[in-house]
Amino acid sequence: MKQGQIDNAVSDFNKAIEIASENAAAYFFRGNAFYMKGQVNQAISDYSKAIELNPKYTNAYFSRGYYYQVMKEYGNAISDYDMVISIHPENVYAHNYRGHAYFAQKQYQKAFDDFNKAIELNPGYLNAYISRGCYYQDTEKQYLKAVADYNEVLKLNPADAVARRLRRDAYVTIQSISRGEDINTVPVIQVVPTLFKDNNQITNAY
């Protein structure tokens, strides 16, 4: 969306809020527009207002949590994902993204549990396999399990560049171990779960 279109969207939502100041959806969508303008604090403020008006507005909790996470405010992010999950326990996005936040806080078991739960809820959710594969590879050093998760992704999406790169790094480490090399001296890219923006995740998390 071009800048002029985003500005027009903000203007339209401003008018909608003037007409109906308790329209939670107008605040939510204006928040999305603010974020697209790079105005993250205004976006979070609008999501908070949407939540104030509708305490069960899971899209607003998820979006606010996501942007808290981008800002490395992991505790706030986890709190918002907790709310999404309390309202919709089957929300795979909230489980996966909360797992990322836990991982960033080095709460590895909680991260692993969330990645597993996301896969249990939706075995076709590829990002959760990548998340869990990163956990196996970076935290547990269980490289074969990591490869198995990346293979699951590549079965459904053979062109997935992230899964291919991570699998390649895991294979390099496995080969080094088989040659008796000290893997601590092998130069590899550090593996940590990365936020992958799912299609329509922000507006369709629920």
**Amino acid 55: pLDDT:** 97
Q: Which residue has the higher pLDDT, 142 or 5?
A: 142
pLDDT tens digits, one per residue of 191-200: 555 555 554 4
Long-range CB contact pairs, 161-166, < 8 A, 24+: 162/130, 162/194, 162/196, 163/126, 163/129, 163/130, 163/133, 165/189, 166/130, 166/133, 166/134, 166/137, 166/191
Q: Please give the Cα distance from 33 to 108 (Å, whole number).
A: 34
- Over range 94-110, report the average pLDDT: 97
Band (pLDDT 50/70/90 cuts) for residue 202 is very low
Q: What is the dihedral sign for C-alpha 25, 30, 35, 40?
A: negative
**Predicted model pTM:** 0.85
| Residue 5: both structure tokens together | 């279109």
pLDDT tens digits, one per residue of 170-180: 999 998 888 87
Band (pLDDT 50/70/90 cuts) for residue 183 is low
| Residue 12: both structure tokens together | 């339209």
pLDDT tens digits, one per residue of 13-44: 778 888 888 899 999 999 999 988 888 999 99
Domains of the chain (ranges plus CATH)? 1-55 (1.25.40.10)
pLDDT tens digits, one per residue of 35-80: 888 889 999 999 999 999 999 999 999 999 999 999 999 999 999 9
Report CA-CA distances (Å) from 172 to 39, 132, 149, 194: 42, 19, 16, 21
